[in-house]
Amino acid sequence: MRLRQIFLMKAVVLAAGLALLPGGARSDEAAPASGQIDIQQVGDGFSVTGLVTGHAQTDVQAELTIAKRDAAGQVSSTQGRALTLEPGVTQTLAQSTLSLDPGGQIEAVLTLSRDGVTFERVTGAVRDGRIETQ
């Protein structure tokens, strides 16, 4: 019984110590920015836009990858850059307009990171002519 108490006390002390380590990610920290993929139908194609909104003044790395597959073949592109964000301000990272044959699909992924650590990943897609965003 005494050994079990000592083990539990050590576990509590270890957990408390880990919570105090500098630079560790904490679940109660707010993300410095959020991403959004806006997809709009344009004629026989779709416009895909990666948007980033700052929640704090900070620098982030943003990357938008778009992949298209249809009867004409497949293609993908990635556009990324460092952004300096201000709270409440939305910046356009990239925008692409793609034609799409019936039955084709478009998939888009917007990734936000800071100091090499990804903190947000947003997806969007067009499948069977329907726009899906997360």
List, in order of start, the domains of the chain with CATH numbers.
30-133 (2.60.40.2420)
pTM for the model stands at 0.77
Which residues make Cβ contacts (< 8 Å) with residue 109, sequence separation at least 6? 64, 65, 121, 122, 123
Q: Which residues contact 72 (CB under 8 A, 6 or more apart)?
A: 99, 101, 104
Two tokens, residue 70: 């249809």
Phi and psi, residue 15, nearest 5°: -65, -40
CA distance 115 to 80: 15
Per-position pLDDT tens, the chain of length 134: 443 343 334 433 333 333 333 333 434 468 999 999 999 999 889 999 999 999 999 999 999 999 999 998 999 999 999 999 999 999 999 999 999 999 999 999 999 999 999 999 999 999 988 999 87
Please name the residue that has the structure tokens 């650590």.
117
